[in-house]
Structure 1
Amino acid sequence: MSKIIITCAVTGSIHTPSMSPYLPITPEQIAEHALAAAEAGAAILHLHARDPDDGRPSADPAHFMTFLPRLKQATDAVLNLTTGGSAVMTLEDRLAAPKRVEPEMCSLNMGTMNFALYPAAERISDWKYDWEKPFLENSDDLVFKNTPRDIARILTEVGQERGARFEFECYDVSHLYMLKHFVDRGLVRAPLFIQFVFGVLGGIGADPENLMHMKRIADKLFGEDYAFSVLAAGRHQMPLATLAATLGGHVRVGLEDSLMISRGELARSNAEQVTKIRRIVEDLGREVASPEDARAMLGLKGADRTAI
């Protein structure tokens, strides 16, 4: 099997500050968590920004630039910026930072979908900030918009015009077929890095048989031209990542995807999750990829060609 790429999704836009005291929300916290994750073995850092005053998800390039220069100076890990941002953001908002930063890599959601977070609100009684409860509860009427026109725009403005490669986030089988559509249109070229996403309410469930099915369909559609990685939400994070590693895939962990390190125990850092999955995959006989390995495997342009 090839070397295994560990991605760490440091903060995201799903979890809110009241869910965990360890969720990084300030620039200093995001940078410290990211650097520790890279030191622990993450070759790719998947990055969102937050408003440091209240932890609200932010698309403001100024908020990204409070931590990106420090990361570029202190680590050679691949800096992967979100184009998904938050489901409540406009596409203009979501593209502002990637267009300003011109990163090596961006995430790209491959379809419009329900994105339901509201069950999480039922588990919290003590809220730190006023925005959190309505942010979660109102997701029962939320559509995360990623139309073919949106996807084509991201591929063109961030990919073709600025040289970024993509972590194609596929939340269901239909998203694989949408990706194949853009390969056929010539807007996407190999090698593809596909992130199978499981356990978000509105996407495919976090069942092992669903992972096997997603891989079968991806094999049929893309042959040898792709690599897959797996992220699973919440308690499914480590089991499905372990299965992915046994199948020759790559893995993603981080506090964006799960706040826990084990049942009933909050993770105190992103690095704690990276350390755990690294131990698991190395025990399975997989060799962890370095950032330079990841760049070579995914055909990235190099950190020196970004605008950070």
Structure 2
Amino acid sequence: MGKTILTVAVTGNQTTLAQHPGLPCTPEQIANAAIESCKAGAAVAHIHVRYDNGKPSMELEHYREVVDRIRDSGCGLVINLTTGPGQRFVPGAEDPKVFGPGTTLMAPEKRVEHILALKPEICTLDLNTMWSGDSCVINSPKNVTIMANAMKEAGSKPELEVFDTGDIQLAKQLIKDGVLEEPALFQIVTGIRYGFPGTVETLVFAKSLLPENAHWAAFGIGRMMFPMVAAAWTLGAHVRCGFEDGVQIRRGELAKSNAQQVEKAARIIDDLGGELATPDEARAILGLKK
């Protein structure tokens, strides 16, 4: 096996301050969490942004400040910006055709404005259409294509977020149609209700569906975060951890920081006989355009 790329997802948009009072929220906090995690062994930082009060944000200036702080730090982290916000539809209580409170659904061009402006080396491309809580996540093939074309224009490599088998089939079709380039980078998301369960059997099956030359990673949410680090590595995948996926370091104990979670994931990989990639080694593995 080659070296393993460890991604840290430092804040996400679903984790709340009520779940962890140390959740990074301001651009400075998010950037510092990513930089500290790089020193602990992470090669890639997956970035969402928030308002100071913890509410999810899509503000370009929030993304810009985080990206500038990481780049100016000299740590060399590979930056991976989300394009997930803007995909949720909540049916209205009286008329399900009309959006209800909590709907964020918007034009795909709006969801990639920060990608075109900041040109990260990686950005996520969600391929799922599924229920998430009381909202429906919608990523139509047409909208995904528009976003993928914008990513290509920005020179950013899409990280294909797949939550179930149909998402992988959509990815294969987009590759066949020339929308996505090979080798593609897949991120298998497990533990989301109504999606892939967080089990070893799931990963074995999902891996069997991927294109033969694909790069891939996988992660689990909540209590399965660290078990899935071990399972993913064993199957030859890259790995991920961070406060977006879970806030504990062990059952019943909040993690002190994202960096502490990275240290634990790094220790798991080391104990299994693996070796983490540096940011520049990750770039070489994935063929990124720095």
Normalised by the size of structure 2, how large is the TM-score? 0.91
CA–CA separation in structure 2 for the residues paired with 1:164 and 1:92: 15
CA–CA separation in structure 1 for the residues paired with 2:247 and 2:188: 19
Structure 1: which 5+ residue stretches go unaligned? 117-139, 303-308
SS in 2 for 1:28: helix
More helix by share: 1
SS in 1 for 2:18: helix
Q: Residue 42 of structure 1 aligns with which residue?
A: 42
For the aligned residues, what is the CA RMSD? 1.2
CA–CA separation in structure 1 for the residues paired with 2:242 and 2:167: 23
Q: Residue 57 of structure 2 aligns with which residue?
A: 58
Letter in 2 for 1:22: G
Amino-acid identity (%): 38
Worse overlay, 86-95 or 289-298? 86-95
Deviating 4+ runs (over 3 angstroms): none
CA–CA separation in structure 1 for the residues paired with 2:159 and 2:41: 18
Instruction: Please list, as runs of the form range in 1=range in 2, the aligned pairs for 1:213-252 lying within 5 A after superposition.
Output: 213-218=205-210, 222-223=211-212, 225-252=213-240
Q: Residue 210 of structure 1 aligns with which residue?
A: 202
Q: Quick check: 1:102–1:162 contact (8 Å CA) kept in 2?
A: yes
Q: Quick check: 1:193–1:226 contact (8 Å CA) kept in 2?
A: yes
Q: Residue 283 of structure 2 aligns with which residue?
A: 295
Report the alpha carbon displacement of residue 214 of structure 1 after superposing the two structures with TM.
0.4
Report the alpha carbon displacement of residue 89 of structure 1 after superposing the two structures with TM.
4.8
The question of 1:105 aligning with 2:85 is answered no
Q: Residue 28 of structure 2 aligns with which residue?
A: 28
Q: Residue 150 of structure 2 aligns with which residue?
A: 157
How many residue pairs were aligned? 272
Report the alpha carbon displacement of residue 182 of structure 1 after superposing the two structures with TM.
0.6
Q: Deviations over 1:232-260 (max 9, x none)?
A: 11001110111111111110101001111
SS in 2 for 1:66: helix
Residues 13 and 93 (structure 1 numbering): CA distance in 2 closer, same or farther, change over 3 Å?
farther
SS in 2 for 1:177: helix
SS in 2 for 1:166: strand
SS in 1 for 2:112: helix
Q: Residue 265 of structure 2 aligns with which residue?
A: 277
Equivalent of 1:191 in 168, 179, 183: 183
Q: Quick check: 2:151–2:158 contact (8 Å CA) kept in 1?
A: no
Structure 2: which 5+ residue stretches go unaligned? 89-103
Report the alpha carbon displacement of residue 291 of structure 1 after superposing the two structures with TM.
0.8
Q: Quick check: 1:111–1:178 contact (8 Å CA) kept in 2?
A: no
> Greater RCO between the two (CA within 8 Å, min separation 6)?
1
SS in 2 for 1:229: strand
Worse overlay, 98-107 or 2-11? 98-107
Report the alpha carbon displacement of residue 66 of structure 1 after superposing the two structures with TM.
2.2
Worse overlay, 293-302 or 80-89? 80-89
Letter in 2 for 1:196: I
Equivalent of 1:167 in 159, 162, 172: 159
The question of 1:264 aligning with 2:252 is answered yes
Equivalent of 2:140 in 137, 147, 168: 147
SS in 2 for 1:295: helix
